Amino acid sequence: MTLPGRRKRVLIYSHDSFGLGHLRRCRAIAQGLVAADPELSVLILSGSPIIGRFDFGERVDFVRIPGIIKLANGEYTTLALGIDLEQTLAMREAIIRHTALAYAPDLFIVDKEPLGLRGEVRDTLALLRGRGCPVVLGLRDVLDDPAVLADEWRRKGAVAALAELYDEIWVYGLPQICDPLDGLELPPSVPRKTVFTGYLRRPLPAPAAASNSVAAQAFAGDARYLLVTAGGGGDGDAMLDWVLRAYESGAVLPHPPLFVLGPFMPADRQQHLRLRIQAVPQAAAITFDAYLETLIDRAAAVVTMGGYNTFCEVLSFDKPALIVPREQPRQEQRIRAERASSLGLAAVLRANGPRATDAMITALRQLGQQAPPSTGVVPGLLDGIENVQRLARRIMSRPAARLLPIAAAGG
């Protein structure tokens, strides 16, 4: 419960240090919350090394915690400090806990990981909830294949956390597309406190902000291009290569391509792709643009791997899209792509076996004739921000006495 005469405060925790998905989703939620309430501020806890390259606007700020990334073999390592992993994890946990104590939020939102990375947010959850601060788990529409997720969450103790540590669970999607908790053995209390918000609509950046975008300046005017985006880019080079081969073939395709390589793509892969792109007439490449919404809005169509945020932007700006999903190490993008395709929201091209150039050429030509997502009628599809605003107002106005304090759990 917010104290009288005090500005409302929301704390958001985002564990990830690699990729853009978690950070961009938390940023969209934070901006939506402050836009709806001039007496509210939001602080984001994030391990992203590029969080400072984004504009957060008034009454939104961030605290950067030391970065940790997950390697291909499933092990974790520090991102930049070069010190012992366990020391880094202890530092992260301490920063999270002390920030929560100093900021004293009226609402704590945890993104995706119920206990945080390696359980680092468990004690903070118990601490804040015991002080009467409501705590919410925010989930994207798809997490992974249910069997894989069930095993992972069983090992992490995540299902018990849903029941014991969280007041509500907000799913930023719709059940007719996917229920991220489907297939899990859940206590009866968990479905009762789960709310589907709809997808998070993205607005265009303010003109003054978007004008800072080098890419937006370069592609201003009436030019219509195919935007090919690999998200963070850490695992997107295979998709970019497939699209690029279609253009290198000399086939007649509907639009010139603009490739967004992603800030996490290794420098040698970027250089290799840039040299090839330079040899294709009318093709262009950039590494990163903090105002990707502007580029999507100006595009004729989009090719994407189908991450959550780009999918929201495709829907928000009503762009025909071809999703080429990553299928390892998680099935998230494949599941989202197939559900979207079944509802007429996007086309999908899976990389089953060899990525044949002819298959991509055909898909890109069909994309030129594809109807926008708005032709598929899905009620409440983009109501996510408005519903998050409503849910936040409601839970912060709840009397603190109704929140049951629990003891901090160890381990």
- Least confident stretch, 217-231, 266-280, 301-315, 381-395: 217-231
Give the integer Cα–Cα distance in Å for 18 and 20.
7
More confident residue, 205 or 186: 186
* Percent of the chain residues topping a pLDDT of 70: 88
Range 152-159 average pLDDT: 91
Residue 171 token pair: 């799913």
Range 371-395 average pLDDT: 96
* Percent of the chain residues topping a pLDDT of 90: 68
First to last CA, the chain: 29
Q: So what's the pLDDT on residue 354? A: 84
Residue 251 token pair: 């086939």
Domains and CATH numbers, the chain: 8-201+382-402 (3.40.50.2000), 207-375 (3.40.50.2000)
Give the integer Cα–Cα distance in Å for 79 and 297.
33
Give the integer Cα–Cα distance in Å for 268 and 233.
13
Q: So what's the pLDDT on residue 289? A: 87
pLDDT tens string 250-263:
999 999 999 999 88
More confident residue, 236 or 371: 371
Residue 191 token pair: 């479905």
Q: So what's the pLDDT on residue 399? A: 79
Is 80 exceeded by the pLDDT of residue 353?
Answer: no
Give the integer Cα–Cα distance in Å for 61 and 55.
9
Task: Grade residue 100 by pLDDT with cuts at 50, 70 and 90.
Answer: very high
* Average pLDDT over the chain, rounded to an integer: 88
Task: Grade residue 407 by pLDDT with cuts at 50, 70 and 90.
Answer: very low
- Least confident stretch, 121-125, 153-157, 380-384: 153-157
Give the 3-state secondary structure of residue 128. helix
